[in-house]
Structure 1
Amino acid sequence: MNPMTIHVKQPKKDLALVPSRIVFYEQMQLVETFDDQSQCHMLFFYKQKYLTAVRTTRLKLHSYIARALKEGTAYESPHPFLQALIEMNTPLHKVSYPQLKKKIAGPYSRQEQAKVLTFFESFIPKKQLFQDMKSLFYQYRREGNMSGAYRVIRVMRDFAPNNKFVKEMANDLSYRELTNLYLEQSHTLMERDPLFKETYATFEDHQRLLEQEHRWVEASSHLLTHFYNQPTLENYQLYRAYLSRHFDCDSRTLLLEQMSQTIPSFPSVTEDLFQHYLVKENTDAAARLYTERELMLDEEQFKQMTTLLEKNRFHEDPVNFMPFMRRITAQHPEETRELLDAFLIRLLETMEIEQVHDSLKSFPKKSSLMRKVERMNEIREDLDCMQELGELYYGFHQLEKSIECFQMEMELKPSTPEPLRWLSKVYADKQMMDESKAYQQLCVDVQKWA
């Protein structure tokens, strides 16, 4: 997944921000970003809905956002969760604090509005935030909605636990019955207070709630955290099924890579990741995973892998495939003969013969082509063997190197027609017919003079 830039519209000049991580904490999602001046900007989301962006200079030590950064679940950018969250909220606009209060007044309850206001303690004076929460409390009180008022007080108690007003309201006799219901974690109360319900829900109920509210990015993170805490096959299959419903193949591959790094000993993740590499024809990554995790390929996987390598002829740096080839040829000596031959040819295209020879020393079994490489290494500096070396290079389809050998042989033995015949043949193979005919004629002349 490529690095992303997040564009945030604002009145004077739009922001181009590079995200560093996304943090999930309770109902909030927080995206930490940086502009081209390395200044930090925090993007706030509530239940996957974008709120605003705030330039950050410092954070209050015991603020909600500081707690979120410390206790929340963080994912480094780039990440599919981050990309999905941004895409579903584009375009993003930076709004002022008064605009933010209007923005959240429509879709959210007053309790949730109070909760959202707590996010901004490091940026808005605490006194101002407290007064706005107090206003929400009194709106419920004027309506006679004591349950709603008490829900706001509970938010205010978390925000300012030592405030005199909060203490008085929390201990008011009018709310004693509600206080007892919270202590009992009453099911009736669960339906009235969605934040309380979400906090104390079981894993299954919490997941169900997130899905009912279409908060599928949060649900994905929730499932992943559950799998990390309890890495069972059942939990993995549950998470894998959820990924298939919501993320494309590239995103699933990245998520599997991160899971594989976090829990390298969990075989199902490694197997699925290897299969993803095969589907995406990422042979370099598949070979590395096969070697590092000491995978055992079934017949179909072996066929897929060898077919891909034969198809692309080790187009990546063939040195990267050395551990893979060493292991797979040891496990499947008969079935990998042609693959090993193709690998040797690719090595000779990119390395000197001495390097190729040294690289192949650790291979357990010698093929006929490997023995030819050994012979080429033996005679590579022997001027009496340039003709043989050229023919061996030709057998490996290394036409340029074979030409060098035949030309040297021609210079060393000007009266010998054999290197001229080979030069004519090689240039014909290269479709350089003028050069081929010239060497052919030269060969005829040499034979006449002999």
Structure 2
Amino acid sequence: MYKELIRPAEISIKDKKNIVKGNVIRAAVFARTNVIEVLTAGNESFYLIYYRNSLIFGDKLDKVEEESFINKAFHEGIVIESPHPIVKAIIPNHSVSIPNKNKLFTQLQIHYSLQEIAYIATTLDSFFDKEELVKMIDKIFFHYRRSGNFMKSFQVLQILHDFVPTLKSAKERLNLQEFNSYHDFYKSSSLPSIYKRDPLFVERHCFQNRSNPDIRHFLEDICRQQDSLLELLLWLEDPKADSVEKYTGMALKFITMKEWIVILGELNINPYQVLPEAKSIIEKMIQEERFETAALYLLNFIHDLPASYDPILNELWGNLNASFVGKHLDDFIFMSQHLIHEDSVKQLEQKVFQLAVILLEEYDLKAVYEKLLPIQKILPHSAVIRKMNHMLAILEDPDQIMELGDYYAEFKQFDKAIDCFFWEMELKPQDPTPVQKISRMYQHKGMVKEAISYQKVYAQIKSNKEVG
């Protein structure tokens, strides 16, 4: 449904002196870090890394390495595929400038703690050499250690070890006796206690282990205090219908009510059962004569709408064109079964005729008949169905090819009718009737020269017949 109702989020990226524009393909949220994948008009892929909703760095990548943070984010994070409406909320700005790579870490020190910079470095391994990043993190470790801040130096070591588990020097330092008390603290303390001293560690730990109900609950508590968007994303990952009202208020901080209706629909939560406001949204679309848009919003739940929506469905049925109905035929057959009454039989028969005309342009006679056959349950005396049934019966009978052509003409299938009349003309070259019918078909097609030509042939055959 997203693709029919929601446009993809667009973004403009300034890289040095070049500006490229593209559409966001997907976004991955991994604790404090967001990764955005952008596809440009030139079919190039850009990846942008955000920390606490601020752009850190980004660049064009031909390939995402399997061991990289970006790959990890898209496999272990909360991934939102475009054009999901919430993607726009994950992107703080729709026009960004990629920072100077050579000055990046100097600039980061203005805004973030050294521990945060150590973690941020681990998210940039698609853009920087891994050894260079390890050296950067090592510098931070030794800075904390020299200044006597052993807790912080231990925390940075944990970040380094998670980044490169095979790094021998990090393992050896973690096992130093001076860090034993910190090992004990992280092993024996509760998450709330650890969170007071190392919120970055706890947030990452909880996010990576959010499938555990207790850990997920604690992560939700953290988000409730400081990041309502992440709390909403966690709910979207595991939604519960009984909490829709609570999360509706939260969602409307970031998206519109129409977008929220679409999201609930994709989560298989019927928005028309749980959102009283949804009905007025649809009614406004109908007032604005946006009938197809209103129908697209309702189609997924056409089988489970409250009775109060019947007037809306009646309005749609009367105003939607047959082409749109044909694309969603099964849903509209259900709708017509639900709404049929004596006064609407004539209207429904007209709609069936229009559908037959459109479907015959794309499918053969048998396929169209089978698609429309369920309507016979609603309209057992449908003239359209009866005629199509008769057309199938005479389809292979050359003695009734003229009658078949007349039926095709009635359904505005002029080329198929011409084929039938040509066949009859070949069988009966002295009969002027099929020639006259061919002339009329070309008139309907707007092909005046051809119509006049066959009218002349008709006149000649008729004259010869009268003389004879």
**TM-score of the superposition, structure 1-length normalised?**
0.69
Please, which runs of 5 or more residues in structure 2 have no aligned partner?
A: 1-5, 207-214, 286-290, 392-399, 413-432, 434-468
CA RMSD of aligned residues (A): 3.8
Indicate if the aligned counterparts of 1:17 and 1:34 stay in contact, CA closer than 8 A: yes
Deviations 1:50-83 (A, max 9, x none): 2121221344432333322332232222222321
CA distance in 1, matches of 2:48, 2:36: 5
Q: CA deviation at 1:350?
A: 6.5
- Residue 172 (str. 1) matches residue 176 (str. 2): yes
Moved over 4 A (4+): 235-238, 269-281, 346-361, 370-379
Contact 1:24–1:72 (CA<8 Å) still a contact in 2?
yes
1:197-216 counterparts in 2 under 5 A?
Answer: 197-201=202-206, 202-213=215-226, 215-216=227-228
Per-residue deviation, residues 361-398 of structure 1 (Å, max 9, x unmatched): 53324488x4699699999x9x9xxxxx9xxx9xxxx9
Q: Measured at CA, do residues 78 and 330 of structure 1 come closer, stay the same or move farther in structure 2, by a change above 3 Å?
A: closer
Answer yes or no: is the 8 Å Cα contact 1:313–1:342 preserved in 2: no
In 2, distance between residues paired with 1:354 and 1:81? Answer: 37
Does 2:137 match 1:133?
Answer: yes
> Which sits farther off after the overlay, 314-323 or 136-145?
314-323
How far residue 322 of structure 1 moved from its aligned partner, in angstroms, is 4.2
* 1:182 aligned to which of 186, 193, 202: 186
Matched-pair identity in %: 18
Residue equivalent to 2:109: 105
Corresponding residue of 1:443: none
1:330 paired residue among 328, 337, 362: 337
CA gap of 1:102–1:90, structure 2 versus 1, over 3 A, is farther
Letter in structure 1 aligned against 2:93: N
- 1: CA distance between counterparts of 2:359 and 2:195? 74
How far, CA to CA, are the matches of 1:375 and 1:246 in structure 2?
54
**Offset of residue 348 of structure 1:** 4.3
Residue in 1 aligned with 2:396?
Answer: none
The match for 1:26 among 14, 17, 31 is 31
Q: 1:217-273: per-residue Cα shift (whole Å, max 9, x none)? A: 32222111132xxxx43355544443244320332133224323xxxxxx5458469
The whole-number CA distance in structure 1 between the counterparts of 2:74 and 2:195 is 27
Change (3 A) 1:101 1:301: same
The unaligned stretches of length 5 or more in structure 1 are 261-266, 384-388, 399-411, 413-450
Which residue is 2:151 aligned to?
147
Structure 1 residues 271 and 25: alpha-carbon distance in aligned structure 2, compared to 1, 3 A threshold: same
* Secondary structure, aligned partner of 1:154: helix
Amino acid at match of 2:45: C
Alignment TM-score, normalising by the size of structure 2 = 0.67
Match of 2:60 in 1: 55
Contact 1:198 1:206 in 2 (8 A): yes
Match of 2:237 among 207, 213, 225: 225
Measure how far apart 1:190 and its partner are: 1.8
SS of the residue aligned with 2:111?
coil
Matching residue within 264, 269, 288 for 1:256: 264
C-alpha change, 1:181 and 1:193, in structure 2 (3 Å) is: same
Counterpart of 2:85 in structure 1 is: 80
1:285 aligns with 2:293: no
Q: Distance in 1 between matches of 2:101 and 2:387?
A: 78
Are residues 365 and 255 of structure 1, via their aligned partners in 2, closer, same or farther at CA, if it must alter by over 3 Å?
closer
AA of the residue aligned to 1:148: K
**Alignment map for 1:391-402 (pairs within 5 Å):** none
Counterpart selection for 1:305 from 313, 321, 337: 313
Distance in structure 2 (CA, Å) of the matches to 1:317 and 1:290: 17
1:241–1:20 distance in 2 versus 1, CA, 3 Å: same
Residue correspondences, number: 368
Distance 2:78 2:180 in 1: 35
Structure 1 match to 2:124:
120
- Partners of 1:60 and 1:366 in 2: CA distance: 60
CA distance in structure 1 between the partners assigned to 2:327 and 2:65 by the alignment: 48
Moved more, 189-198 or 18-27: 18-27
- The CA distance in 2 between the partners of 1:156 and 1:340, in whole Å, is 73
The counterpart of 1:35, out of the listed 20, 36, 40, is 40
Q: Which amino acid aligns with 1:285?
A: L
Q: Which amino acid aligns with 1:184?
A: S
- Cα deviation for residue 16 of structure 1 reads 1.7
CA distance in 2, matches of 1:378, 1:68: 61
Q: What corresponds to 1:264 in structure 2?
A: none
Inter-partner Cα distance in structure 1 for 2:317 and 2:34:
43
SS at match of 1:174: helix
